[in-house]
């Protein structure tokens, strides 16, 4: 049974996070068309809300962060609540026993920024730094196992040519002073281009390249749907769920996505998405994902409708915050960094 687009994007998002963490110790496989799918990295790009539904996986990752969202499914409900209670104490900055929407927003932003910092630190230490900068050749050597010219057919990196060219383009964009090296700050932009204003064109280009299979410079409706739904993957022996159309077997969420494409994404109604339309899709203007998520959590858990959350209200809805996908809070609980 196929998942909604929210679940699909969350899965790719988490897979990408694993690739980011491990790619420096193993050469990536050629032909991985979703390598560095940056438009699925950013929380605000995951389209966690769809037709009035909210994706619980999104809530867990936004609230906890990627590094912590790995082992919580091994905890009992009581253990989950105990650990969540400690986190609530960290979110409630003024210590009044109430978590406001602003405090939740600040926490979500903190969690996301902390991940970027720790991920960059981890990756930075894994490379050969020259002074306080990283060279393109050193990065390529560590990532692909060689500094050979990938355009030469007898090169050991020839099979990774497209991936190397894509990395190099992103590298050059991150290199603000055009000196061929990246500082640690620039390296963070390279790893997480979705968070840097000057890298946003790269986010759009890579999204286009991943989905535009016929390479005509546009994303057709067929390509858009094919990127999230493969009819052949459906198990014919599986009993359709309530959101599956029994007449043609197409899940209702797929039909909803077609409607999204036709009536919302395709602004000029020419049947395809150009770069500007893709940009509006993956990098929407005036959208604050942390504010939206904070508002959602308050609305979902505010039993007495006072506009804020008590510790009891949060623990009562612990599955919304952490559920079965929440995390091992170990690192979050033992950290002494300021929030």
Q: With 50 as the cut, is the pLDDT of residue 8 above it?
A: no
In the chain, alpha helices (H): 5-22, 56-64, 77-91, 101-125, 136-144, 161-174, 184-191, 200-211, 221-226, 252-260, 275-282, 289-301, 311-316, 318-321, 330-334
Least confident of 88-92, 111-115, 221-225: 111-115
Residue 73, pLDDT score:
59
pLDDT, mean of residues 274-285: 92
Where does residue 215 fall: left (phi above 0), alpha (psi -120 to 50 degrees), or beta otherwise? Answer: left
Whole-number Å distance between alpha carbons of 32 and 320: 33
- Cβ-Cβ contacts under 8 Å for 123 (sequence gap 6 or more): 20, 24, 187, 191
Residue 252, pLDDT score:
87
CA distances from 323 to 17, 262, 336 (A): 20, 35, 25
Q: Tell me: the pLDDT tens digits for 247-259?
A: 456 788 899 999 9
DSSP 130: B
> Strand, coil or helix: what is 319?
helix
**For residues 161 and 327, which has the higher predicted lDDT (pLDDT)?**
161
Residue 251, pLDDT score:
87
Query: Do 317 and 60 contact (CB within 8 A), yes or no?
Result: no
Q: Produce one character per residue of 189-206: b if its CB has 16 or more CB atoms within 10 Å, e if not.
A: bbbbbbbbeebbebbbbb
How confident is residue 310, by pLDDT bands cut at 50, 70 and 90? very high
- Name 245's bridge partners: none
Q: Tell me: the pLDDT tens digits for 144-186?
A: 998 888 888 888 889 999 999 999 999 999 999 999 999 999 9
Q: Tell me: the pLDDT tens digits for 19-52?
A: 333 333 333 443 344 344 443 433 333 343 433 4
Percentage of the chain beyond pLDDT 70 is: 67
**For residues 322 and 317, which has the higher predicted lDDT (pLDDT)?**
317
Other CB atoms within 10 A of residue 312 CB = 12
How confident is residue 204, by pLDDT bands cut at 50, 70 and 90? very high
Residues composing the chain: 339
Q: With 70 as the cut, is the pLDDT of residue 200 above it?
A: yes
> Strand, coil or helix: what is 263?
helix
């Amino acid at each position: 049974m196929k998942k909604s687009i929210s679940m699909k994007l969350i899965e790719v998002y988490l897979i990408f996070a694993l690739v980011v963490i491990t790619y420096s110790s193993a050469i990536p496989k050629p032909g991985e068309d979703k390598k560095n799918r940056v438009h699925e990295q950013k929380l605000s790009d995951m389209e966690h809300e769809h037709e009035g539904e909210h994706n619980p996986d999104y809530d867990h990752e936004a609230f906890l962060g990627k590094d912590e969202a790995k082992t919580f499914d091994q905890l009992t409900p009581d253990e989950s609540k105990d650990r969540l209670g400690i986190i609530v104490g960290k979110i409630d900055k003024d210590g009044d026993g109430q978590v406001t929407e602003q405090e939740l927003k600040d926490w979500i932003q903190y969690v996301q920024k902390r991940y970027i910092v720790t991920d960059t630190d981890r990756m930075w230490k894994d490379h050969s730094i020259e002074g306080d900068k990283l060279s393109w050749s050193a990065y390529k050597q560590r990532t692909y196992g060689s500094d050979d010219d990938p355009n030469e057919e007898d090169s050991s990196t020839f099979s990774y040519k497209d991936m190397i060219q894509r990395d190099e383009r992103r590298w050059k964009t991150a290199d603000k002073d055009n000196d061929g090296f990246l500082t640690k700050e620039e390296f963070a932009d390279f790893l997480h281009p979705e968070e840097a204003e000057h890298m946003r064109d790269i986010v759009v280009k890579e999204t286009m390249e991943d989905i535009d299979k016929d390479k005509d410079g546009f994303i057709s409706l067929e390509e858009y749907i094919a990127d999230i739904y493969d009819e052949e993957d459906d198990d014919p022996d599986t009993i359709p769920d309530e959101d599956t159309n029994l007449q043609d077997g197409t899940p209702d969420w797929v039909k909803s996505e077609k409607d999204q494409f036709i009536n919302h994404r395709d602004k000029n109604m020419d049947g395809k998405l150009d770069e500007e339309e893709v940009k509006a899709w993956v990098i929407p203007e005036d959208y604050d994902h942390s504010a939206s998520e904070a508002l959602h959590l308050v609305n979902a858990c505010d039993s007495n409708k006072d506009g804020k959350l008590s510790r009891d209200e949060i623990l009562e809805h612990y599955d919304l915050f952490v559920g079965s996908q929440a995390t091992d809070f170990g690192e979050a609980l033992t950290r002494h960094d300021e929030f």
